[in-house]
Amino acid sequence: MLKARESVRTLKEYHPPLGNREGLRLVGVEPEELLLTNGTDEAIHIICETYLEPGDEALIVVPTFAMYEIYAAATGARAISIPAAADFKFPTERVLANISKRTRFIAVANPNNPTGAFAEIRDLTRIAEAAPDAALLVDEAYFEFCSETMAPKWRQLPNLFVSRTFSKAYGMAGLRIGVLMGTQDQVQMLRRASSPYNLNSVALACLPDALADQSYVQDYVGQALDGRRDLENELSLWGIHFWTSRANFVLMHLGDKCKPFINEMREGGILVRNRSSDYGCQDCVRITVGIREHNERLLASLREVFAGLGLREKVTR
């Protein structure tokens, strides 16, 4: 906190983020193997600007986080959407079949947003090996909730990048801190496209303390995972179809109850996301879990709203 206050007092000074790289103890990577970014959004932007140009192709498995397509298309490259397999499973064979000599970027959120699906490391390795001329970005924004990582596999796969964020488990979304990791050579290339002052000094001042406070992160993740388990159990009791998640949210199909459910929950002060406009997610809602108190409130409201909408529990408690 003191460092954060002091950084506000010295806002008039320039603070390049490079000086702070030494403080990062994320996955034991070398400072030369990472770039701090203004959130993962900027990491995606920098990769697209570095590797894509008009005529190139970007492969994006859908449904997924929207920014891959937005930044890829902004370069003039063709963004090719590859539908997920049944039950939103990662479509390894489809991705492999779509790799061409024009493929320069492949984006995978792992775990995925909004489905919570997880792509196996061995499948992502096959993809990286099959597309040596493409940058494969494995976006691990929800890593802390799932604990499996592709890092630091880039030492064997030079076209692999792994990104992390402080927006989710660390609860620092407004500060905008992301980390992009890859081989030293590739990271050096990315650095050329990145502004030297891309992180603000308040964010930089908070970063070492946030990293040092792993007990906070573990406690928060523990509460979120308990909340996810309880939410999934509750949905099973009501016979609601949902997709098993490795992240801090659950996607569920509510059919014609989708819109009224969202409205009723909002009335009760709980915001849940309508994902109907995402590929394959018609009438689906994504609910994020968090601290114990919020999770308990969520379940209480959910029961009330389901009952109010005329749903009946399918299994006796």
Ligand X SMILES: Cc1ncc(COP(=O)(O)O)c(C=O)c1O
Alpha-helical regions (H) of the chain: 2-9, 39-51, 67-74, 92-98, 121-130, 143-146, 184-193, 201-212, 214-237, 258-267, 292-308
Whole-number minimum distance, CB 64 to ligand X, in Å?
7
State phi, psi for 135 to the nearest 5 degrees. -80, 120
State phi, psi for 282 to the nearest 5 degrees. -50, 130
Residues engaged in binding ligand X (CB under 6 A): 39-41, 65, 109, 113, 139, 141, 165, 167, 173, 178
- Residue 91 or 178 with smaller CB distance to ligand X: 178
State phi, psi for 24 to the nearest 5 degrees. -80, 125
- Residue 9 has a CB neighbour count (10 Å cut-off) of 8
Helices and strands of the chain, counted as H and E runs? 11, 11
Residue nearest to ligand X (CB): 39
Whole-number minimum distance, CB 251 to ligand X, in Å?
12
- Residue 165 or 295 with smaller CB distance to ligand X: 165
- Residue 177 or 252 with smaller CB distance to ligand X: 177
- Residue 72 or 109 with smaller CB distance to ligand X: 109
Whole-number minimum distance, CB 13 to ligand X, in Å?
25
- Residue 110 or 234 with smaller CB distance to ligand X: 110
164 within 8 A of 207, measured Cβ to Cβ: no
Whole-number minimum distance, CB 109 to ligand X, in Å?
4
Whole-number minimum distance, CB 141 to ligand X, in Å?
4
